[in-house]
């Protein structure tokens, strides 16, 4: 009981600064609806207000580890606008099995999402989705685009580039990317370099 209470206090202390920052910016959600400012931050191209709202609520649910709620919102967004790639990608990411993931996501959805991605974090997720599908060439392209964004993390992008190239069989390219990884992720890169050396 004491451990659970201590964990709850630790979580609250970690989330308090974020909560206070959101309050200082004004309410993100008013009466259960996302604000225009919060919807403008997501890379969505749809004329349907309902599609945008449900896609945004789905993204929030996904980020707060509520995949079933996220899936419901993404499905409602797709029902309102079947061409909304952001909602299709979100629905796939909220999947609870690989079969469901494959059924919900197509390469065309990812290509559209990559074109409209607004930040490095979104491009990294798109790259991870391509890698999960075995499309390492497009995964590497997404990771390189992510690295070029202002919020891009070069160490993380190079690590993912190295992993994708290693899986694709490009030892030289993988080694170059993995050797460019710095900071705390350099230890993970060393494991991949060992894997490449053993793959012979």
At 25 the pLDDT is 47
Question: If DSSP codes are grouped into helix, strand and coil, which group holds residue 80?
Answer: helix
What is the H or E stretch that residue 84 is in?
A: none
Alpha-carbon gap, residue 152 to 133, rounded angstroms: 23
Q: Which domains does the chain have, with CATH numbers?
A: 36-116 (1.25.40), 119-200 (1.25.40.10)
**Exposed/middle/buried for residue 5 (C-beta within 10 Å: 0-12, 13-18, 19+):** exposed
Token representation of residue 18: 């974020």
At 20 the pLDDT is 47
pTM: 0.57
Alpha-carbon gap, residue 64 to 62, rounded angstroms: 5
At 106 the pLDDT is 72
Those residues of the chain that have pLDDT short of 70 are: 1-45, 102-103, 200
């Amino acid at each position: 009981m004491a451990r659970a209470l201590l964990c709850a206090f630790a979580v609250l202390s970690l989330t308090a600064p974020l909560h206070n920052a959101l309050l200082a910016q004004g309410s993100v959600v008013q009466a259960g609806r996302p604000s225009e400012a919060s919807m403008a931050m997501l890379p969505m191209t749809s004329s349907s207000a309902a599609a945008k709202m449900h896609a945004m609520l789905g993204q929030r649910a996904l980020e707060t580890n509520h995949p079933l709620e996220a899936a419901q919102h993404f499905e409602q967004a797709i029902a309102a606008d079947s061409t909304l790639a952001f909602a299709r990608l979100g629905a796939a990411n909220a999947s609870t099995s690989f079969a469901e993931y494959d059924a919900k996501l197509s390469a065309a959805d990812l290509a559209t999402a990559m074109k409209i991605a607004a930040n490095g974090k979104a491009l990294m997720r798109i790259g991870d989705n391509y890698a999960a599908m075995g499309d390492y060439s497009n995964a590497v392209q997404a990771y390189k685009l992510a690295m070029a964004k202002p919020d891009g993390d070069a160490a993380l992008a190079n690590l993912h580039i190295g992993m994708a190239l290693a899986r694709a069989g490009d030892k030289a390219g993988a080694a170059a990317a993995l050797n460019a990884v710095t900071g705390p992720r350099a230890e993970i890169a060393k494991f991949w370099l060992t894997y490449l050396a053993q793959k012979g």
